[in-house]
Amino acid sequence: MGKTLENQNRLLGYVRSFGTPRLIITGFVLLLFITAPIVGVDLTMQIGNVINRFSWNAVLVLALVPMIQSGCSLNFGIPLGILAGLLGGTLSIQLGFERFGVMGCFFAAILLATPFAVLAGGGYGWLLNKIKGGEMMIATYVGLSAIAFMCMMWLLLPYTSPTMVWGLSGEGLRTTISLDGFYGEALAGFLAIPIDPENGLYFPTGSILFFALLAFGIWAFFRSKTGTAMTAAGSNPQFARASGINVDRMRLLSVIMSTWLGAVGILVYQQGFGFMQLYMAPNNMTLPTVSAILIGGAAVKKASIPNVIIGTILYQSIVTMTPTVATAIIQTDISEVIRMIVSNGMILYALTRDMKGEGSR
């Protein structure tokens, strides 16, 4: 009797730590998977799509981990990294790296993005160290300002590659650039396993491997001396400082890592998606990315690799499955609205929770 009660309590405690919204979302996704075959949706196709979309987005979500761990909270400034990635990508095309093959073009883009990411991340990290406690709001607006600034730059920078600039005027980059013949499918096409080749559905082995590699790198990093110091700086800055850790340096490093991963993340996204989107598009990545990691079980101050994987799978399941399933059931596409409510509701939930003892005004 006592034991069952204890078990019950443990279960309750588990549920509580998991959080009601997360439970609802998981339930919702399960429901989607159950109803899909009933209403006549091709489940293989759906699962294949989820895997593909996971492979596009996972690195971006992974990019949030270092900053959360070092106490810089949710990186609403991820557009900064994305912009660095876009610079790398456009430069790689402009400089004609496609002559080294898709892989060459892709890794050249990463290499070219790196200095921008490090520079931007450095400045951004320095700024975040000046305003500890108010990171999220300032990160949001740094990201937005950077996007608006780069909007001007996309028009003004002297790009000339005919695939990228507007055909008529010959100057200013297009809003959407096709990556066919550049680094489109650079990773996804590597060792791809056919699932449903008639519908163009493949298992993106290369992308998944690349993500696994990066995720392993991050995992290993947080087990290294610097990594544990970073976690310490995040979980208890006073204590970390007392034990001789340079908290500001750790935070700076984490921001640079986050920004660089953001740059790589958007390039991975693009190679899967097949297009590069400029101008206002980076703005559409921020909130979905943040909410994905939160759905996966991360908190404002704590995140792990499993959070990234679970969160991305759950989030992308909602994004890919709701349109088809909802359309099959009620003949209207309500998915965009559901996605908006779910993702922002998740962020809202995380923000209104576990607030004790930090960030008080």
Partner 1 sequence: MKKKQRGTFNLGRLLQNNIVPIMFLGICIVCFPLSGRSPAYLLNELVTRLGRNTFLVLSLLIPVMAGMGMNFAMTLGAMAGQIGLILVADWQIWGIPGIILAMIVSIPISILLGVFCGSMLNKAKGREMITSYIIAFFMTGVYQLVVLFMMGPIIPIAHDSLKLSRGFGIRNTVSLLNMRQALDNLLAINVMGVKIPVLTFLIIGVLCLVIIWFRRTKLGQDMRAVAQDMEVARDAGINVDRTRVLAIVISTVVAGFGMIIYLQNMGNFSTYNAHSQIGMFSIAALLVGGASVEKASIGNAFLGVILFHMMFIMAPDAATTITGDSMIGEYFRTFVSYGVITVALIMYETRKRRNRSQTGYLLALAQKEEEARGK
Partner 2 sequence: MKKRNFLFQGLLVLVLVAIGAVMMVIGRGHTVYFDNRSLEYNGTNYDSLYKIEVYLGGSAEGEAVARLYDQERGMATQVGQSMTLTLVITPEDGGEEADPATYTIDLPYNMDGIVINLPAYLEGLPEEAYLTEFVPLVTEEPEEEIDLGGDMGLGDF
In the complex, the residues that contact partner 2 under the rule CB under 8 A are 144, 147-148, 280, 283-284, 336-337
Contacting partner 1 within 303-342 (CB under 8 A)? 332, 334, 336-338, 340-341
Name which position in 45, 155, 192, 281 contacts partner 1 (CB under 8 A): 155
Beta bridge partners of 177: 276
Q: How near is the Cβ of 172 to partner 2 at its closest, in Å?
A: 16
- The identity of residue 225, as a single letter, is K
Residue 36 CA, distance from chain mean position: 27
Cα distance between residue 337 and residue 39, in whole Å:
21
Binding flag, residue 47, partner 1 (CB under 8 A): no
CA angle 170, 172, 178 (to 5 degrees): 90
What residues have CB less than 8 Å from 323, skipping those under 6 apart?
A: 333, 335
Nearer to partner 2, 210 or 279 (CB): 279
Q: Find which of partner 1, partner 2, none residue 355 binds, CB within 5 to 8 Å per kind.
A: partner 1
Residue 109, token pair as written in the block: 């883009």
Q: Find which of partner 2, partner 1, none residue 157 binds, CB within 5 to 8 Å per kind.
A: none
Name which position in 148, 212, 213, 329 contacts partner 1 (CB under 8 A): 148
CA angle 289, 291, 296 (to 5 degrees): 100
Nearer to partner 2, 150 or 253 (CB): 150
Name which position in 287, 299, 305, 328 contacts partner 1 (CB under 8 A): 287
Name which position in 21, 114, 123, 132 contacts partner 1 (CB under 8 A): 132
Binding flag, residue 351, partner 1 (CB under 8 A): yes
DSSP for 173-238, please give it.
B-SEEE-TTTTTTTTTTTT-EEEEGGGTEEE-HHHHHHHHHHHHHHHHHTTSHHHHHHHHHHH-HH
Q: Find which of partner 1, partner 2, none residue 195 binds, CB within 5 to 8 Å per kind.
A: none
Nearer to partner 2, 144 or 195 (CB): 144
Binding flag, residue 145, partner 1 (CB under 8 A): yes
Q: How near is the Cβ of 334 to partner 2 at its closest, in Å?
A: 11
CA-based torsion, 326, 328, 330, 336: positive or negative: positive
Q: Find which of partner 1, partner 2, none residue 283 binds, CB within 5 to 8 Å per kind.
A: partner 2
Residue 160 CA, distance from chain mean position: 30
Contacting partner 1 within 62-91 (CB under 8 A)? 76
Name which position in 12, 15, 31, 152 contacts partner 1 (CB under 8 A): 152
Binding flag, residue 138, partner 1 (CB under 8 A): yes
3-state SS, residue 148? helix
Of 62, 38, 58, nearest to 50 (Cα)? Answer: 58
Q: Find which of partner 2, partner 1, none residue 136 binds, CB within 5 to 8 Å per kind.
A: partner 1
> Environment class of residue 278 by beta-carbon count within 10 Å: exposed (0-12), middle (13-18) or buried (19+)?
buried
Nearer to partner 2, 119 or 334 (CB): 334
Binding flag, residue 360, partner 1 (CB under 8 A): yes
Q: How near is the Cβ of 352 to partner 1 at its closest, in Å?
A: 4
The residue whose two tokens read 């909802």 is: 326
Binding flag, residue 37, partner 1 (CB under 8 A): no
